[in-house]
Structure 1
């Protein structure tokens, strides 16, 4: 079994955990979900659910992870109390590993598109027109190559380990991401049409809040924070015993929700700026364009309208998207790699190479059957699997793991936790309210 690494600092953990949370889920998913779910009404629902459901579930994963100091399967087995819960822990752990791998299989495809558009802005600057057209035209060959490049980047970081790979690159990439995001926001908000976008984004129409909107907001919160699949459990296992888990969990949730909100400040106004330049930003039904079309059809119109500076803005934007993709993909790959490295004789490098190759193959299968598999895998993992896995994590902490053991684990980094509002509310909340609320929203979505 491989020796257990640790994050070298709180900052390293927050950057890595925020990097996992802050990816396409925030900078692409959150604004497009906002665009297709009533604008500011969705933003309001998202923030409520991020702290009422996602934060308690995040705490469950961090506490289990640090206690077990192991991969997700071993961790859940370790807090089991009998044969039945041991089997449940094994099933949930392995299913979480599969879901994390499936998420990375479609995520790598989308991230590959970000890389092609990043390169297209460079080829356009150099006057390589044909290369630029190939990079932006949807095709199997382009998709396969760009996905392969992205997977290699992800594998290269994971193979280096926790401190030398995940933490090192997260602390480098995250500040760069924030700077790029803020620069682009300042630029876009100065353009004509941005004010209309801000109104849509910041002034909620409460009448638009519906069960469907709430389910979308819950799914976004869980996907954004990488919950249910063991990512945060793994990161928690790399934390030292002196760290206050409630404070670190709150910091990650705040940073994640904050970045999602800031990303919306860029994307939603940018849609309305693009409208000023002739982009068609509404669907036939009158809703704002969302999904891949938002990034790859609406925003390029905006960049083209800017003239020479538009190429640099496009370069900065897709560099931002590529960085965000990478900080999230490394956390997803760490889930299966940590299991293989700890439970088999394989080294971290061998585990990374093997599992990365398997995910690459499955991504290729998705590309070969794109119309039928791409949307199906996204719904299976993010809409259905992640919330249900999140429920089980809450059940393990609330019902299976002994309350005194739970308290002792949190006290390691927060000696007076019993006197805090967190301990007075969270144990009962994660035991009763979280599972019921998540399942209620989930059942409504299925019905």
Structure 2
């Protein structure tokens, strides 16, 4: 017997869930340091432009296919056409998206576990548990496995509750908390000596670099990947939208929320880096590059917190609470991809599907932790460098070439009856067919150099 599909009960529920999927660790540690390393506000301007020229059209492709098909990523792509070749291509593309989501979650759960450990370490120190704090701050197999298990279980429990009671309910709780913590940290950091230099590096543009090909490609990649495109998460969230929802408006709102959060995160991270430098913490590599990525999160900022005396533990607690929530909201959307396939194609009960899929991915995470040096970077490269952009192109092709134009118009008209007379309809179908795939392929080829 077919199980009833879930549905978002409100627009704000969808927007916060989709923003939670898009707003992840990359927004907080990736975007700000890319901006600082690529001309400050020059990068910011190009990024904001490309978010709507590249990421928004691709996002609309996923949302439209999702709501039209009302199905998981495999069934949705397979069912867009009656032609055997197109159906087979859709089935294979859906399986690839499923596989990429699983691989991303397998390493993302490990990183999320690191964030949870860094959150618990200062808490243990405040409670007088110095030994536990030291263990949590270490990098042992046991710590990484236990913290990964904790984040995996949180994700499974939320997904097992379904769309409205799980994904939507928890997103509407976690996302406002995430933003409140971020704003509180921004206010504190901006009051510290050295923060003005960070704001200058972030907000004052070096306009001579605005046409730099490396800057443009970097901004293009950030705009595309920050919206969780290419793995079916937005497709499945789109399938839970109501017919009365205005798809172009919802897509634009998600893009604005994601870019707005990335910008706001920059107001924390860049000033914090320069505050750390003012405190004597090393923030540049020997080659003169600004430290980014894991080095920023696990070396520069903890050193900054340690230099702040008794307030440091509380700042570390708040910051890594922020990071843990960002990781959890993204993990929720990734786990929903295999769970939706299990529920709809294999008729498993949702709680069972959540535990089986989540447990299987956790087992893969344990394998990566065990063979970390070999598998961690490999998993990242296969899924994000190769998988996401190629699948992004495929999803644009399916929306622009496989889904019939009248069906596309009919779907978009459901929540927006006047869509046919708008600039969006006059531009987007052509854009998603040709321009968007070409830009994504260009980004992909340049990233391989």
Whether the TM-score (by the shorter chain) exceeds 0.5 is yes
Deviation (angstroms), 1:28: 2.5
Deviation (angstroms), 1:157: 0.2
Give the superposed CA RMSD.
1.4
- For residues 324-351 of structure 1, the C-alpha deviation after alignment (integer angstroms, 9 at most, x for no partner) is 1111100000001000110013111111
Q: Name 1:336's counterpart in structure 2.
A: 338
Alignment of 1:256-267 (within 5 A): 256-267=258-269
Q: Please tell me whether the aligned partners of residues 117 and 136 of structure 1 are also in contact (alpha carbons under 8 angstroms).
A: yes
Match of 2:322 among 320, 323, 329: 320
Q: Name 1:392's counterpart in structure 2.
A: 394
Q: Please tell me whether the aligned partners of residues 66 and 76 of structure 2 are also in contact (alpha carbons under 8 angstroms).
A: yes
Question: Quick check: 216-225 or 278-287, which moved more?
Answer: 216-225
Match of 1:362 among 342, 364, 368: 364
Q: Name 2:94's counterpart in structure 1.
A: 93
Distance of 2:84 and 2:41 partners within structure 1: 47
Question: Could you list the runs of 4 or more consecutive aligned residues of structure 1 that deviate by over 3 angstroms after TM superposition?
Answer: 32-42, 206-216
Q: 1:36 to 1:87 in 2, by over 3 A?
A: farther
Distance of 2:112 and 2:50 partners within structure 1: 27
Deviation (angstroms), 1:45: 3.0
- For residues 4-36 of structure 1, the C-alpha deviation after alignment (integer angstroms, 9 at most, x for no partner) is 110000010001001111121212232243355
TM-score by length of 1: 0.97
Q: Please tell me whether the aligned partners of residues 158 and 165 of structure 1 are also in contact (alpha carbons under 8 angstroms).
A: yes
Deviation (angstroms), 1:143: 0.7
Deviation (angstroms), 1:431: 1.1
Q: Please tell me whether the aligned partners of residues 29 and 292 of structure 2 are also in contact (alpha carbons under 8 angstroms).
A: no
SS across alignment from 1:239: coil
Question: Does 2:385 correspond to 1:408?
Answer: no
SS across alignment from 2:108: helix
SS across alignment from 1:6: coil
Distance of 1:417 and 1:247 partners within structure 2: 11
Distance of 2:219 and 2:108 partners within structure 1: 19
Q: 1:390 to 1:199 in 2, by over 3 A?
A: same
Question: Does 2:124 correspond to 1:139?
Answer: no
Alignment of 1:41-440 (within 5 A): 41-208=42-209, 210-440=212-442
Q: Unmatched 5+ residue regions in structure 1?
A: none
- For residues 230-288 of structure 1, the C-alpha deviation after alignment (integer angstroms, 9 at most, x for no partner) is 10000000011000000000000000000011001101110000111111000111000
Deviation (angstroms), 1:398: 1.1
Distance of 1:440 and 1:319 partners within structure 2: 37
Q: Unmatched 5+ residue regions in structure 2?
A: none
Q: Please tell me whether the aligned partners of residues 117 and 136 of structure 2 are also in contact (alpha carbons under 8 angstroms).
A: yes
Q: 1:41 to 1:287 in 2, by over 3 A?
A: farther
Distance of 2:262 and 2:132 partners within structure 1: 33
